[in-house]
Amino acid sequence: MTSDDIYARQQFGQKTGFGRMPALLIVDFVNGFTDPDIFGGGNILNAVEATVPLLAFFRGRRLPVAFTRIVYADDGSNAGVWCQKAPRLRELTEAADASQVVKELAPRAGEMVIRKTQASAFFGTDLCGTLISKGVDTIVVAGCTTSGCVRASVIDAMSWNFRPIVAMDCVGDRAIGPHEANLFDMGQKYADLLTAGDVIATLDRQVLPAPAK
């Protein structure tokens, strides 16, 4: 019996689909994660490029958009155990160029920018409450890294009973092995996997309500 057979026999990999109100969550597509000399590498730049039309679609439909940035205090006073595992994370301060969203995806007025100090976009932030206030029930996820902050955010999104949809060509990692393994695992347990094109095509057929103010 193959691993695919085992997952299928145990009824993993079911689809949750889209609800009535989707939002786009772009996780940590900042300069430091597109630079191989800092935190980048692998297929992250390709994922940024694939996210450009997805973001344009959400903006064109006036759907909620949220970005995350990892931001630590200049003095490192809020750096925790994660920074012991990856000390250079402390370089991601409010003013640091490495912590700024890449210019191709620069946030616009009215779009959420969530500052976080942990992997998940939800941990210690107001993201969940803000999305609920806008009537969001589905979260399309792009960003990096697939094995780290994307995965953590997807699991927390599902834990809050949002429907996570991973735009699989819009997520990237510094190494392809962890990227592919975590895509498979998320698809089996936590999220639906679709290309950006499929997300756009699916939502283009839906009649969506206006997002709450």
β-strands 112-116, 138-144: how paired?
unpaired
Compute the distance between CA of residue 79 and CA of residue 93 in angstroms, rounded to an integer. Answer: 11
Tokens 């085992």, residue?
A: 6
DSSP 208: P
Neighbour count for residue 160 (Cβ, 10 Å): 15
Rg (CA), the chain: 17
**By the 8 A CB rule, do 203 and 176 touch?**
no
Q: Which amino acid is at 89?
A: L
**Is 83 an active-site residue?**
no
Pseudo-torsion of CA 45, 51, 56, 58, nearest 10°?
Answer: -150
Report the greatest alpha carbon distance in the chain. 54
List the catalytic residue out of 83, 128, 144, 149: 149
Number of residues in the chain: 213
Residues tagged active-site: 149
